[in-house]
Structure 1
Amino acid sequence: MNIKTKRKLIAAIAVSVVGLPGYVAYAASTPTGESGKAPPAAAAKSTAEKAHYFARASKLIGTEVRNPQNEKLGKIEDLIVDTKGHTAHYAILSFGGIAGIGSKLFAYPVEMLRRTSDKDELLLDIDKARLEKAPGFERNNWPDWGTDSYRRGVDKYFGVDRGDKAGAQPALIRASKLIGMDVEDNEKRNVGEIKDVIVSLSDGRVPFIVIDFDKAWSPDDKLLPVSPSSLTFPATDKDKALIATSRDKLEMKYGFDEKKWPDFNDLTYQREHESLYRDSGRVRGAD
C-alpha cells in the first residue's frame, strides 16, 4: 500500500472516530518529511482530545496533579483568569509541605496541563526538581497580578511566549473569586450570580461563563452559558460583574438544570448548540 493510500485510509478512520475537527488536529501534527510516516493513532487522538477539552473551573480547582513519573506534585488551588482577554492564563499549584501545611504555591501556564485516564487527576510534564526552582510564592502572600514582573518571570521560566495575547493590561482575577460573583444589569440591579467558568485546556481560553439568573430573568430557573464578551468587570467594584445585554437578547434555549450539567465536550451537544460555540469563538475546527 503506497503512502498516499495510507493517508486516505487514516483520514477516513479519524473522521469516523474523532470527527472532522479531530482529524484536522491530527493532520496538522503529521510530519511532512521524506519518510511520510504519520504518528501513532493513539498520539493523534490524544492531541485531538486535548485540543478540544472544556472543563469547569470549579472542577479543576482541587484536582490532583502528577508528572509522567507518577509522582504527586500537588493540587490545583486556583486559576488566574483574564476577564478582558477571556483566557485562563495560569493554574496555581500547591507543592511541598505536609497535608498542604507549609506548601508553596506556583503559577504555571494552563496549557501545560494534560488529561489522564483518571478524571480526578491531571498531568504536568515537569520533574519535582524543576518545579521547586520555578517562581513561587507563599500561601499567605499572593503576588499582585496587576504587575507583570511576576507573570513575565513565570512565562520566561516555562518558555511561554504570549506575544500580544495577554494585552497591554490584562485584568487578572482568581477563578474562585469569579465563581459566586454577583451579576448586575445596566441599572445596577442584581440579576444573578456567576455559577462557573468554562476553560479550554488547549490554550486556556474561556468560551463561556455560566450564570445562575434570578427568576425575573430566567422564569424556568435554568443556568445559562453566556459569552464572556457579554460581561464587564468594573475596576471600581471587583466584587461585581455587569451584563451588557438585555434579558430579551439572551439565548434562553441554551439553559439547563443545575442538577443536569451538559457535557460541553460531547459532539452531539456541540452540534445542537453550534451558535453558542460559534458566538464564543470556540467552534471545533474553527482555530
Structure 2
Amino acid sequence: MAPIAQETDHALILSSRVNGTPVFDRAGNRLGHVDDLSIDKVSGRVLYAIMSFGGFLGIGERFHPVPWGLLDYAPGHGGFVVPLDRNILKDAPNYDAVELRNLGGPSFRSYSDIIFGYYGAPPW
C-alpha cells in the first residue's frame, strides 16, 4: 500500500480540514479562522469562506462571508492569506448564526451583491 499523501502534497482538501484553518493578513497577522464554507448547490463552486473573528466562546461572534477567490493558501503560514486587514473586516458585511443561514435563501441575490460589492470581488 502506498503511503498517504500529506495535505501539502496535493491540490484537493476536504472541507472538514478547511474549517478552523487560520486566516492571516499579508503582514502575517492572524485575523481569525474559516468557520465554514458556502457552496453553490448547482455549480458546486465555493462562493464564500465563512470567516469568524471576534466574540468570546461563541458569544457575540459575527461571521464574515469572504469571497473564496480572495483567499490564498500559504503553506508557510499553515493557513490562508487575504488582501484584507482587520479594519476592512470590521466594517465588512457580517451576520450572526441565524442570519447566516438565510444567505442562501430567497434574498440570496441581494446578499451576494452586498458581499461581493463590498470586497470589489467579481461574483462567482
* TM-score range relative to shorter protein: 0.7 to 0.9
Query: Does 1:89 pair with 2:50?
Result: no
Structure possessing the higher radius of gyration over alpha carbons: 1
Q: Deviations over 1:235-261 (max 9, x none)?
A: xxxxxxxxxxxxxxxxxxxxxxxxxxx
Distance 1:66 1:160, change over 3 A: same
Q: Deviations over 1:72-94 (max 9, x none)?
A: 11111110111211211111000
Query: Does 1:117 pair with 2:75?
Result: yes
After TM superposition, give the deviation of residue 160 of structure 1 in Å.
2.0
Please, what TM-score do these two structures have when normalized by structure 2? Answer: 0.79
Other structure's SS at 1:93 match: strand
After TM superposition, give the deviation of residue 100 of structure 1 in Å.
4.3
In structure 2, the residue matched to 1:103 is 61
How many angstroms apart in 2 are the aligned matches of 1:71 and 1:138?
A: 24
93, 98, 101: which one pairs with 1:135? 93
Aligned residues: 112
Other structure's SS at 2:80 match: strand
Other structure's SS at 2:95 match: strand
In structure 2, the residue matched to 1:57 is 15
In structure 1, the residue matched to 2:120 is 159
Amino acid at match of 1:161: P
In structure 2, the residue matched to 1:80 is 38
Amino acid at match of 1:144: L
How many angstroms apart in 2 are the aligned matches of 1:80 and 1:115?
A: 17
How many angstroms apart in 1 are the aligned matches of 2:15 and 2:52?
A: 16
Runs (4 or more) in structure 1 with deviation over 6 Å come to: none
Distance 1:112 1:144, change over 3 A: closer
Instruction: Report if aligned partners of 1:65, 1:75 keep a CA contact under 8 Å in 2.
Output: yes
Instruction: Report if aligned partners of 1:94, 1:100 keep a CA contact under 8 Å in 2.
Output: no
Q: How does 1:133-212 map to 2 (within 5 A)?
A: 133-142=91-100, 143-146=102-105, 147=107, 148-162=109-123
Please, what TM-score do these two structures have when normalized by structure 1? Answer: 0.36
Unaligned runs of 5+ in 2: 1-9
Other structure's SS at 1:131 match: helix
- State percent identity of aligned pairs: 28
After TM superposition, the structure 1 stretch with the greater mean CA deviation from structure 2, 143-152 or 73-82, is 143-152
After TM superposition, give the deviation of residue 132 of structure 1 in Å.
0.7
How many angstroms apart in 2 are the aligned matches of 1:85 and 1:126?
A: 27
After TM superposition, give the deviation of residue 144 of structure 1 in Å.
3.4
Instruction: Report if aligned partners of 1:63, 1:75 keep a CA contact under 8 Å in 2.
Output: yes
Other structure's SS at 2:118 match: helix
